[in-house]
Amino acid sequence: MAGRDLVVIGGSAGALEALIRLIEGVPAPNDATLLVVIHRAADLPGVMPHVLDRHGPLRATYATDGEVFEPGHVYVAPPDHHLLVSGERLRITRGPRENGFRPAIDPLFRTAAREHGPRTVGVILSGILDDGVEGLALVKRHGGVAIVQQPDDAEHDAMPARALEHVDVDHVLPAARIGPLLARLANDPIRPDEHAALRRDLAACASDSFDSSSDAPELSVRVVPKSKG
């Protein structure tokens, strides 16, 4: 029985340092697949997978279009390309920027949630602005798990704070404690009735109609602020 083994991770300023701490805490062997989008300039040298390889037990590479993702592996969005999920494969596109970024976090979270529902775990790390907040809300809507880096542990707390404001988050942790949690979730079986109930709920909802075969962003998902009362 599948666990919550598809992990999508997003961040911006300060997120690489947080991601290193996260990956250092992931035990091996591990059944989780980690897909990563971190905002960065398109012309910076592509060293992120090499850096991640040195700091944890999981192999890290840039994702390539059409490859089948595997457990125990970290796939990083290539510079200036969106990383999407289509079935058990990864897609790399140069679709329009979303939230001002390419790669953007929302397309990764959105397609993973749509394709894999409760298997999906969304993680928001250090960053500015709010890319990824709508995607994390959609992960929750599809029965997945939402994790946010503890704001006082983040170099830049705006992105985690926005996620906490707008999404019913399951776990708020320092980056170093997220890795062990991901390992536990990957081995947490999803009950068949969870899948069935979720399919019924989503069948009644037409607004989430993003086509993962398209480069176009989905515009129908709107984050509604939580009531403070």
Cα–Cα distance for residue pair 106/210, rounded to 1 Å: 12
CA atoms within 13 A of residue 156's CA, in its CB half-sphere: 15
* 34 and 58 Cβ atoms separated by less than 8 Å: yes
Cα–Cα distance for residue pair 101/90, rounded to 1 Å: 19
Cα–Cα distance for residue pair 225/203, rounded to 1 Å: 24
Does 131 qualify as catalytic in the annotation? Answer: yes
* 114 and 88 Cβ atoms separated by less than 8 Å: no
How many residues can be counted in the chain? 229
Catalytic residue among 5, 106, 130, 131: 131
Cα–Cα distance for residue pair 162/226, rounded to 1 Å: 11
Enter the tokens of residue 37. 């989008």
Catalytic residue among 5, 12, 106, 116: 12
The C-alpha angle 226, 180, 170, rounded to 5 degrees, equals 15
Q: What is the DSSP letter of 51?
A: H
Enter the tokens of residue 134. 């709508």
Catalytic residue among 5, 39, 106, 142: 39
Cα–Cα distance for residue pair 39/13, rounded to 1 Å: 7
Tell me phi and psi for residue 91, to 5 degrees.
-125, 140
Could you list the active site residues?
Answer: 12, 39, 131
